[in-house]
Chain A
Amino acid sequence: MVETTELKVKIGLEVHCQLTNLKSKLFCSCSSDYRQSPPNTHVCPVCMGTPGSLPVLNRKAVEDAILIALALNMQISNKTIFYRKNYFYPDMPKNFQISQYDRAGGIPIAKNGSKKLEVEKIVHISRLQIEEDPGKISYEGTIETSKSAFVDYNRAGIALVEIVTEPDINSPKEARIFLQKIRSIMEHLGVSSGELEGSMRCDANISIQGGTRVEVKNISSFKEVERALNFEITRQKNLLRTGHRIGQETRHWDEARRVTISLRVKEEEEDYRYFPEADLVPLSISEEEIERQKNSMPELPEGHMQRLMTQYDISRQNAMTLIDNKALAEFFEESAVNYSHPDLLGNWIVGDLLSYLYEMDIELKDAKLMPRDLVKMLELIDDGTISGKIGKELLKEMLISGKSPDEIINQKEMRRISDSEYLNQLTEEIFSSNPQAVKDAIKDPKAVRFLIGQLMKKTGGKADPQLANNLVNEKLKTSKT
């Protein structure tokens, strides 16, 4: 019997990021803005692999890759070569993928980088390569029940970079944090937008001490990665616990059922027959070009974080959370311009706003929230028009409806009640209907809270808390005598 709870987990990731800022595909002039288009409308002889067509490299993709390599502290090759990865699959128009390779004479665009996760934790990056995305296959219903498969080649030929890490990651959580950092770097570089569906995907290699390396493919978003890894680790630990061996295999993450399914075992592993792509010439990258990209390097997440801390005096934790999602950080800064308590603002964004977005499962860009409205809401709290608690409700409502805080407050009568005559009247009602609670409160000051709570309840939380406190306490004094 193997004791499995303490077993060490090693995870290596292959992260695929589409270079979504490019106007055209990697090897042809088809528009890369395909997401809203009908199937097979962003295609040409080149990306369809029509006989006789030839690829021509989009040089801008190389510039992007250089930026990424620099941001990940990688060694950039002065000469890089494209290779063909050969395998048959219906989403591959040519039945080979133009990619890069680090063996058989191949030279990827960059090697040997690293990314720090925390002070003590570094993930080493073995290589960065440029490659083309395959098309997309879809089914009627599920893969098992669908009578046919439908192929859409709009995505075929979209420029990707693949970031391959060493197996330095030791938990699903670390994997998620690493991917968040990668996404943030991509967004800060302006080369890839993680908000677009399917723009960042990954495969994971997982091995548990005492087992063999298992690859999990088809993890279609960063949200899924923690889930898929947790499932796979539990599965492997259970196998080990019950005395089974773990063989080398490739598995598929089934997002809908949240399980991994075996695709093929070691004996059936594909032989990709990598060899040089002779239709493209070896690419030289000069020191000058690298220098040029270095000089054009925008602010990276680390620098951005430091700046947020000093410029706005917000906590390190808040700054870190903000820069994980560049759009959120930008939203913060746009709001902070018009608001005098950025620390408070930071708490609201990192706390309530982020958890609402998570709850609603939307990206910030999909939420109907403007920075000026958030600021307005905070000002309403500051000047006592609404309570903090009402503020939370209001924010949620703003996210859903996109309406201004004033409009919602008026519509839903959220305004704070400071009318002491009205509140006094309510207090009397509460005292007369809760005689026992009044008695308790007279003996035990802690029990006063119940009465105050009743008053807040009656006003839907809109009673001015200070005033409510005073009124109830005063009334108690008179009740004593």
Chain B
Amino acid sequence: MSRILELSASELVSKIRTQEITAEEYVNKCYERIKEVEDRIHAFITLTENIALEKAQEIDSRIRRNEKVGTLSGIAVAIKDNICINDVRTTCASKMLENFIPPYDATVIQRLKSQDAILIGKTNMDEFAMGTSTEHSQFGPTHNPHDLDRVPGGSSGGSAASVAALETTISLGSDTGGSVRCPASFCGIVGMKPTYGLISRYGLIAYANSLEQISPIARNVADLALLTECIAGQDNKDSTSIDSGTQNLKNCLVDDVSGVKIGVPEELFGIGTDEVVSKAVWEAISKLEGLGATFSKIKLESLEYALASYYIIAMSEASSNLARYDGLRYGLRLDDENYDWSTAYSRNRDVGFGAEVKRRIMLGTFALSAGYYNEYYLKAQRVRTLIRQELSKAFKDFDLIIGPTMPILPFRLGEKLLDPLEMYMCDVDTVIANLAGIPAISVPCSSSQGLPIGVQMMAPALREDVLIKVAFSLEQHLKPDLELKV
């Protein structure tokens, strides 16, 4: 394996710009690595080698001609397969969209292209982003690069595993209830769900549109900051995108946490939290304290209902968002000669969707039905409001809230597959940020028997700068003992 692949994005950009290495050389190395490990990792659904190499050559020639290049010039970015790239198959890891080729670029893709990033391939995920392990992909699971028998987390398992396994330098996932932070934690890398609205959702194929954000993944905090800055910003194609003002994240890359006030809710260390995880997170908190931060234990009682609230809202939205997959306009279409439209729709949906997707569509349909709406959907929304209120109250006293990203260590493939509820329980600490629309980051803080453990930090809306700053410090002082198995 080439040393080049271990370099950070900013190091690579400067080497490519100074022609110390060429973008083409680097991209070729990425594909060599991909070919070397993919049979064991399976992080990708589609590789875009021709497009990537063509772009790399173009960037190289522009550099040779002394022309201006973008802030991500030549950097390989893997894209979760629910983000549309014009003319590139986008499947959502579903048979339903197995042959779907979007006629347009997502806004984040336009921004990456304009900054001369290299789109290296589309990554594996739980079907329509519904899952915590990437085992619900209809194209087979992804494996954790630190233990091939274990899951990489999900749903952005391919985006996280590809970065961890050095197949790419950075990647984009999407985070609806922890789908970027979970695999970042399980794969020992950094993932951040930004404030709802910071990054345009235009071109992100919806699972639960009031909760999800396209989210950056990287091996280090500096790269994460770089990627976030490239894709953030208001977009007139997404009415929910917001003007973030001038958050300069690169300026936050300083090792200084003095005076940072941290709240530690005991609910984040509740029943089901693995002791090694609790211990590792508390060590990280102590480390921050040692560096000049202060912390207090707090209570956030509404968090008890966060998971139930999250799943009801997410499934309700999913039941509506996924209604369009009927086979008529795109995606899977079985022979429908002699069937009426309703039967044809049912056949397409029966064959096209996997079991977990069907389960969530059915539960969501139920939760929105007349007679149940008040008891489920509306109640879940009330809980959501309570959580928002309780958190914004807490943020009057604290800059950050800290806890584990995942309550447990990466589990074995198949271990939770037959018990959906146990799988849902894994999201207990991450869904909070999505319900509240606030930013949250997962940073590697320790390991146990070679398996990564991540610490999660949440900040008030649009305070990604605080997250980046504290994450950067943690990264300087905690070096988890991790080793790639590929």
- Which residues of chain A come closer than 8 Å to B239, judged between CB atoms? 54-57, 279-281
Stretch from B186-194, B250-258, B362-370, B471-479 contacting the other chain: B362-370
Inter-chain contact A88/B206, CB cutoff 8 Å: no
Question: Is B359 positioned at the interface, with any CB of A under 8 Å from its CB?
Answer: no
Q: Which residue of B lies closest to A28 (CB)?
A: B237
Binds B, one of A270-278, A365-373, A418-426: A270-278
User: Is B205 within 8 A of A51, CB to CB?
Assistant: yes
Chain A residues with CB under 8 A of B310: none
B341 adjacent to A90 (CB under 8 Å): yes
Residues A19-63 near B (CB distance < 8 A): 45, 48-57
User: Is B240 in contact with A271, judged by CB distance below 8 angstroms?
Assistant: no
Q: List 16 A-B contacts (CB under 8 A).
A: A50-B104, A52-B90, A52-B202, A54-B237, A55-B239, A57-B239, A86-B320, A86-B323, A88-B345, A90-B328, A90-B341, A94-B323, A95-B323, A95-B324, A273-B373, A278-B317
Given contacts A52-B84, A88-B342, A273-B365, contact A104 B201 (CB under 8 A): no
Residue interface bits A68-99, CB-to-B below 8 A is 1, else 0: 00000000000000001010101001111000
Instruction: Taking A53-B203, A88-B345 as given, write out 18 further A-B residue pairs in contact, using a Cβ cutoff of 8 Å, ordered by the A residue number.
Output: A49-B329, A50-B104, A50-B329, A51-B92, A51-B330, A52-B83, A52-B205, A53-B104, A53-B202, A90-B328, A104-B378, A271-B369, A273-B365, A273-B370, A275-B320, A278-B240, A279-B240, A280-B240
Does residue B204 face the partner (Cβ distance < 8 Å to A)? Answer: yes
Q: Give how many A residues have a beta carbon under 8 Å from the other chain's beta carbons.
A: 30
**CA A20 – CA B210 in complex, angstroms?**
32
User: B306-324, CB under 8 A of A: which get 1 and which 0?
Assistant: 0000000000110110011
Please measure, in the bound complex, the distance between the C-alpha atom of A112 and the C-alpha atom of B296, giving whole angstroms: 53
Q: How far is the CB of B375 from chain A (nearest CB, A)?
A: 12
Q: Looking across the interface, which residue of chain B has its beta carbon closest to that of A85?
A: B320
Contact yes or no, B317 A56, CB < 8 A = no
B118 interface hit (Cβ, 8 Å): no
A54 and B324: CB pair below 8 A?
no
Size band of the interface chain B makes with A: 35 or more
Q: How far is the CA of A425 from the CA of B205 in the complex (A)?
A: 91
- Contacts A56-B236, A95-B326, A149-B341 given: A51-B202 contact, CB under 8 Å? no
Instruction: Look across to chain B and name the residue whose beta carbon is closest to the beta carbon of A272.
Output: B370
Q: Produce 1/0 per residue, B85-109, CB < 8 A to A.
A: 0000010100001001011101000
User: Considering the chains assembled together, what is the distance between the CA atoms of A90 and B106 in angstroms?
Assistant: 26
Q: What is the distance, in angstroms, from B173's C-beta to the closest C-beta of chain A?
A: 15
Contacts of B392 in A (CB 8 A): none
A46 smallest CB distance to B (angstroms):
9
Query: In the complex, how many angstroms separate the beta carbon of A58 from the nearest chain B beta carbon?
Result: 11
Q: Of A45, A52, A93, which one neighbours B206 at CB under 8 angstroms? A: A52
B242–chain A nearest beta-carbon distance, Å: 10
Closest to B346 in A: A88
User: By the criterion CB–CB under 8 Å, are B369 and A51 in contact?
Assistant: no
Query: Which residues of chain A have C-beta atoms less than 8 A from B236's C-beta?
Result: 56
| Contact partners of B10 in chain A: CB under 8 A | none
- A45/B341 in contact, CB under 8 A: no
Top 10 A-B pairs, shortest CB-CB distance: A278-B210, A95-B323, A273-B368, A51-B205, A52-B203, A52-B84, A49-B324, A94-B324, A52-B205, A271-B370
Most chain B beta-carbon neighbours within 10 Å: one of A45, A50, A51: A51
Q: B238 at the A/B interface (Cβ < 8 Å)?
A: yes
Q: Is the CB of B44 closer than 8 A to any CB of chain A? A: no
CB contacts (< 8 Å) of A285 on chain B: these are none
Which of A93, A149, A271, A278 touches B329 (beta carbons < 8 Å)?
A93
Indicate whether A309 reaches chain B with its CB closer than 8 angstroms: no
Find out whether the CB atom of B378 lies under 8 angstroms from the CB atom of A93: no
Chain B residues whose CB sits within 8 angstroms of the CB of A95 once the complex forms: 323-324, 326
Q: Is B377 an interface residue (CB 8 A)?
A: yes
Q: How far is the CB of B437 from chain A (nearest CB, A)?
A: 11
A104 to B103 alpha-carbon distance, docked (Å) = 36
Q: B320–A54 contact, CB under 8 A?
A: no
The CA-CA distance from A364 to B84 in the complex, in Å, is: 49
Q: Name A89's closest neighbour in chain B (CB-CB).
A: B341
CA distance A256 to B236 in the complex (A): 45
Report the minimum CB–CB distance from A95 to chain B (whole Å). 4
Q: Tell me the chain A residues, 119-165 only, with Cβ under 8 Å from chain B.
A: 149, 151
Contact with B102, one of A52, A105, A271, A280 (Cβ below 8 angstroms): A52
Residues of A within 8 A of B365 (CB): 273
A61 to B: closest C-beta gap in Å: 14
Bound Cα distance A278, B205 (Å)? 14
Q: For B204, what are the chain A residues with a Cβ–Cβ distance below 8 Å? A: 52
